[in-house]
Homo-oligomer: A and B are copies of this chain.
């Protein structure tokens, strides 16, 4: 405040701006909650403390799932969330994060930044009065913790699984019974056997919640989240009112968080998976017939939405084209390189 009094001439270009950001995540998820703090911190540093974004964990201002409403109504200026939490309003929100059998993190990021993804998503987000900017990625998530082994599609029948959104719809088509349970209730529900399986994030976040103590089998891959992008969302009018320099600081700060969060997950999951295996966790790939049934169910769902939902059609169709073209290219150099390197390492060379 002293600086402002001393230098009124700069009031217009560098005003003191205070924003509040509601995270959809608890502080205990340090990686993903930390993403918003990384962004806020670097924006504060870049502006000599003048653009000050205060980060609140889920529940302090509004519950996690209300992060969009809170920004739309200008209760807070910003959030950090998963776009797919809002599929109840419109399934199109899912494409901003991840849909089953979608792109991996790099491909989704390329679509967003350089394939028209941010633009087409923001045309959609604009109808809710918000602007969305990528803010991190977890990489492929795990397929969750299962109390019983899944040897074929038949073993999925009747399984009560904690899984939400479009992923839940796909699992329902496979015969599972999707349950919506907040993160904090998963452990006791699994322990009591109220549910038979639960998906959360990946090794690092999962280990902290201790699921390995109540469900032995850890499946992969989480085919419903092959490269889920987190988003920062800003109230569009509040964003427009920012000085251009602060808009740029926000843009760079989000990219910084985007980059760092992916790096954190990749670094931390690499250690957590070793730790979990050391604790006796049984890693299992999903059987092929489960993946195939889920793939077919997903495509049916998408085809139906193209027919019935104009927003979905506008976002999904260019996304799908980018996905298919990306897969063709990645199969050439990236996949061949990964395959060779992983095979050599697996053989102890």
Contact = CB atoms under 8 A, between A and B. Distances in A.
A260 B333 contact: no
A282 interface: no
Interface in A14-35: 14
Contacts of A271: 325
Interface string A303-329: 000000000000000000010111111
Interface string A95-109: 000000100111101
A114 B267 contact: yes
A226 B299 CA distance: 33
Given A10-B14, A110-B266, A273-B329, 8 more contacts: A45-B244, A104-B338, A110-B262, A114-B260, A114-B268, A270-B328, A283-B332, A291-B340
A339 B338 CA distance: 10
A270 B45 contact: no
A252 to B, nearest CB: 4
Interface in A49-71: none
B337 A226 contact: yes
B255 A259 contact: yes
Contact of A10 (B9, B139, B337, B340): B9
Contact of A46 (B46, B259, B332): B46
Looking at chain A's contact residues, the main secondary structure is helix
Size band of the interface chain A makes with B: 35 or more
A114 B263 CA distance: 6
B249 A46 contact: yes
B345 A45 contact: no
21 contacts: A10-B14, A42-B248, A45-B244, A45-B245, A46-B245, A101-B340, A104-B337, A107-B266, A109-B263, A114-B260, A114-B264, A140-B334, A202-B333, A221-B337, A222-B333, A226-B341, A255-B260, A259-B259, A328-B345, A330-B338, A335-B338
Nearest to A299: B349
A13 interface: yes
Contact of A285 (B115, B141, B336): B336
A96 to B, nearest CB: 16
Contacts of A263: 106, 109-110, 112-114
Contacts of A342: 327, 330-331, 335
A349 B113 contact: no
A270 B46 contact: no
